[in-house]
Amino acid sequence: MTFDALLVLDMLLATLMLMLAIAALHCESLRQGIFLYIVFGLVTALAWARLKAPDVALAEAAIGSGVAGALLLAGLRDRKPRKQKSLLRRPAWQVLTVTYLVIGLALTASWAFLDAQANDVGPRLGAMVQAELANSGVSNPVTAVLLNFRAYDTLLELAVLLAALLGVLALGPERAAPRAAGPVVHHLVAWLTPLLIVTAGYLLWVGAHAPGGAFQAGALLAAAGIVVRLSGNPHNGLPSGIWVRMLAVAGCGVFMFVGLASMGGGANLLQYPANWAGTLILLIEVFATLAITTSLVLVYLGGQPDSWSSGRRKARA
């Protein structure tokens, strides 16, 4: 009985994901496509939960579904409305190319998976991580991999985020804010924002020993900023002038500083001293969270906010 119910749920989730993806490409209006994309994110989060990957499920729910959905909706407003060409009405060669590519990708992935199962491919990643976990300073293996064993990758991710932020800031002034909202939105936002902030702090703290971490916390904080913005508040929760710049750069900056400082004792880049590892990871995560929040909120704003420079600029209409 157990096996049947699990299989039903898994098949359901897999089918739903495929159908939602096709429907999101096939819809007539971009608003419907965005909505289907958000739903796709939710179903993917459920799939991650079924795959026993709570960290990824958290990130998918927070960033992939929530913040990305809000970002897409905000971006939609800037486009001139025009009819969306549905996937099936595109020229045949385009449809065929994409179909063959997807089939090829699926076949390659299946072959790689089955081959790895059949042959002995050496020590598995999970076992290797577990063996070194005690030396990493945290007890959550995902955080250990992200911020210790593969810290360089995470540093580069933060750098990529910063580069994207610079691109958005180069667009000029921010979009115009929505007008002030009525009592319902106001009171909803009034208790939703503190709850988002507290949950973000909780996820950041708990990331050391349970699923959580900087990216999820940063996304939740950014959602708080987005929600404050949507309620028509002229402030968006970010500081002004030099501080917002420092916050945006702090993630990469503190990470690199810690990495370079670790070299002082003759070690390699980002090789934390063993008994300081936990503290350093927490330090990096705090600033990474702040940087991710600042970047996501600024990207949502679509440009430089009023508080960015000393001279006041008119918001883009």
Other beta carbons within 10 angstroms of residue 202's beta carbon come to 13
Phi, psi of 219 (to 5 degrees): -65, -40
- Window 60-89: contact mask with another protein (x via CB under 8 A): -xx--xxx-xx--xx-xx------------
Nearer to another protein among residue 23 and residue 25 (C-beta): 23
Interaction of residue 25 with another protein, rule CB under 8 A: no
Interaction of residue 14 with another protein, rule CB under 8 A: no
Interacting span for another protein (CB under 8 A) from 160-168, 202-210, 261-269, 273-281: 202-210
Task: Kindly tell me which residue out of 54, 141, 253, 273 binds another protein, with binding defined by CB under 8 A.
Answer: 54
Q: Which two tokens stand for residue 115?
A: 């081959």
**Subset of residues 205 to 224 that bind another protein, contact rule: CB under 8 A:** 206, 210-212, 216, 220, 223
Rounded to the nearest 10 degrees, the angle between the axes of helix 214-230 and helix 277-301 is 30
Phi, psi of 173 (to 5 degrees): -65, 165
Nearer to another protein among residue 8 and residue 98 (C-beta): 8
Are 39 and 20 spatial neighbours (Cβ–Cβ below 8 Å)?
yes
Task: Kindly tell me which residue out of 114, 164, 166, 195 binds another protein, with binding defined by CB under 8 A.
Answer: 195
Could you report how far apart the first and last alpha carbons of the chain are, in Å?
59
Are 203 and 212 spatial neighbours (Cβ–Cβ below 8 Å)?
yes
Angle at 126 between CA 122 and CA 127, to 5 degrees: 65
Task: Kindly tell me which residue out of 83, 184, 265, 310 binds another protein, with binding defined by CB under 8 A.
Answer: 184
Interaction of residue 42 with another protein, rule CB under 8 A: yes
Q: Rounded to an integer, what distance in angstroms lies between the CA atom of residue 36 and that of residue 14?
A: 15
Q: Rounded to an integer, what distance in angstroms lies between the CA atom of residue 209 and that of residue 163?
A: 31
Angle at 229 between CA 219 and CA 286, to 5 degrees: 30
Interaction of residue 227 with another protein, rule CB under 8 A: yes
Interaction of residue 187 with another protein, rule CB under 8 A: yes
Residue 79 DSSP SS3? coil
Nearest-approach distance from CB 16 to another protein, in angstroms? 6
Cite the DSSP H helix spans in 136-241.
Answer: 141-144, 151-169, 183-206, 214-230
Nearer to another protein among residue 161 and residue 203 (C-beta): 203
Which residues make up the interface to another protein (CB under 8 A)? Answer: 1-2, 5-6, 8-9, 12-13, 15-16, 20, 23, 27-28, 31-32, 35, 38-39, 42-43, 45-46, 49-50, 52, 54-55, 57-58, 61-62, 65-67, 69-70, 73-74, 76-77, 176, 178-179, 181-182, 184-185, 187-189, 191-192, 195-196, 199, 202-203, 206, 210-212, 216, 220, 223, 226-227, 230-231
